[in-house]
Amino acid sequence: MSLNVPLHEMTLQEKLALMELLWEDIARTPEAIESPTWHKTTLEERYQRLAQGKSSFQDWETAKVSIRNKLS
């Protein structure tokens, strides 16, 4: 299947809106998306590090503030 989307004629806002529409459509059927094997491996490794006390995490709002502080 080939689509002819005039990306070079679209504004940034139009491109972002198109991405949002695509993501909303894809997200309606998450079971159709097969997660790569390496995702499971990475999640298992991270869980083990958490269980062993070798790693920690922050809630998303705290992490965003931390990232913004590092970038400014």
Tokens of 27: 């997200």
Domain boundaries, the chain: 7-71
10 Cβ partners below 8 Å, 6+ apart? 18
Alpha-carbon span 39 to 67, nearest angstrom: 23
- Assign 57 a pLDDT band (cuts: 50, 70, 90): confident
Question: What HEC string does 4-67 produce?
Answer: CCCHHHCCHHHHHHHHHHHHHHHHCCHHHCCCCHHHHHHHHHHHHHHHCCCCCCCCHHHHHHHH
* 28-51 residue pLDDT tens: 998 999 999 999 999 999 999 999
